[in-house]
Structures are given as C-alpha cells and as structure tokens.
Amino acid sequence: MTNKNIQNRINAKWLNDHIDDPEIRIVDTRTAVDYAKGHIRNSVNIGLKDIVRTQLGLPAMCISQDIFEQVLGSRGIDNGTHVIAYDNFGGVFAARLLWTLEYFGHDRVSIFDGSIKGWIDEGGAFTSEVSTVKKANFSGEVDETRLATKEWILDHLEDDRITFLDVRTASEFTGKTVYGKRGGHIPGAVHVHWLETIDPTTGRFKSGEDLKILYENKGIDASKEVVAYCWMGLRASHSYAILRLLGYQHLRVYDASWAEWGELDTVPIET
C-alpha cells in the first residue's frame, strides 16, 4: 500500500523548496564517479551496484535485507525518512531504488522527474561537495506482495486477476531478438515498452493523463494485479514505479525476469 501523504512525482520547484527539510534524503542513484563530478545539493549516493548482486548466475538481483539496511543507515536514512531518488537515465535507476525500498517495507519514497539535467536547467543547486550525514538505523520488513518469482508466476499463469506486463523492446517480446537460450514472452503477457512512458522531447515522464491512456489502451487494468518483467528487473522496476505514480496498488516485479525464464526449458513461452 502506498503512503497517501507522500507526493510520488517530484518536480524541480518542489524539490528546491524542500531541499533543506531534515526529514528528506535526496538520493543520487547514478554511479559514484558521476556523483563525484557533481550532484544535487544535499544528496547522497546509492548507485545500482549498492543494491543489486549477481545471484546463481542471475544479474542485478535484489540484495539481502541486512545489507540493504546497512546501505540505507550509512546514508542517514531511517524508517521515517522521505527518500527522493533521481538519476540520469529516464528514472530507471531511481525506480529500482523505489521498488527495493517498497520491497523492504518503506513506502516514503518519490522520484524526481527531470533527472540531473532537468535540475540544472531549472537552476537548481549543484555541487561536487560530498554530503555529510549522521548514520541512522533502518529496519526493513520484506513485503512479499512486491515480488514475483518463477514459482509464483507458474502458479498464476491461468489467473485472470493477474496481468503480466512485458516492458522490453518489441523484438524481444516477439522473440526476434534473443538474449539467452530462448526468445519470446510469458504466455498472455501484454507488451508496453518502458520508453513509451518517457516524453522524448524532455526526457521526463509523460503527463499523468497520457500515461493513464497509454496503459488503459493496452488493457492494463488497475483493478488487477500487474507483474512487470524485462530482462533483469531494471526496466520492469521503471514500469512498476510509473504505475505506482498512477495509483495502481497491486504491483510486483519479477526480479529474475527473462534472464531466468528465457534460460529454462521447463516453462512455457509464446512468440
């Protein structure tokens, strides 16, 4: 369940007005190298490598709860902190942090819609000075309703209350482009490429109305549970975040995604 008191999509004016609020932690989800070159004032760095690991040959899998708690605590984030994440890649890395936070039970999280370029264009405070924060204590609680596994999907393939959302490219969806042993998609999946949610002229998310129309036209019903997947869970996290911004409540990410499904001979595939 999302926190109704939190604004999910943050613009430059709001962030500038609240940049010094003590209950807010701005998180730069780019690489440490990019962060060191310059970042939004008062932001700390939590890059992708801090929150994913290769596990059993599967790339970019969610880290363990204890490691995640250490990462957040070392960046001054506790259970009451409102986390605002940003990146420079259309929100993919920020969205991955958002999903990870929600998976570990923290729903006080928003995405800055505009990326680092948008912040600079709006005249926002930009610095290369590393933010100094006091260590905090974060205690997570896994929310299994945010995660889909292979076993869970196999148990729900015939469930008409579930929509499987494939956010990869069209050629990946049809099996023309194959990453792994097999190409195609999970049977019955609906295809909405994650980049369809981005305004190509601004690099920002499309308007809420345009996004709502996009998903409704593809048959993504807010009354159903939506399970997003891609190749390794990153693009899926982006679509998860977009749907969350639109108010969808029942959302999961298939973390292992096609990196797992496409390697198996024992699961069904459509092309």
If we measure between CA atoms, which residue out of 270, 102, 255 comes closest to residue 184? 270
Q: Is the dihedral of CA 262, 265, 268, 271 positive or negative?
A: positive
**Residue 163 tokens, joined:** 């929509």
CB 30 within 8 A of CB 88: yes
∠55-60-64 over CA atoms, to 5°? 60
Q: What are phi and psi of 48, to 5 degrees?
A: -55, -40
**Strand, helix or coil at 104?**
coil
Contacts of 17 (CB under 8 A, 6+ apart): none
Pairing of strands 24-28, 43-45: parallel
Q: Which helix (H) or strand (E) holds 70?
A: helix 65-74
62 is catalytic: no
d(CA 268, CA 137): 44
CB 119 within 8 A of CB 126: yes
- Which one of 94, 97, 230, 242 is the catalytic residue? 230
Strand locations in the chain (E):
9-10, 24-28, 39-40, 43-45, 52-55, 58-62, 82-86, 109-112, 126-127, 147-148, 162-166, 190-191, 225-229, 251-254
- Tell me the catalytic residues: 230
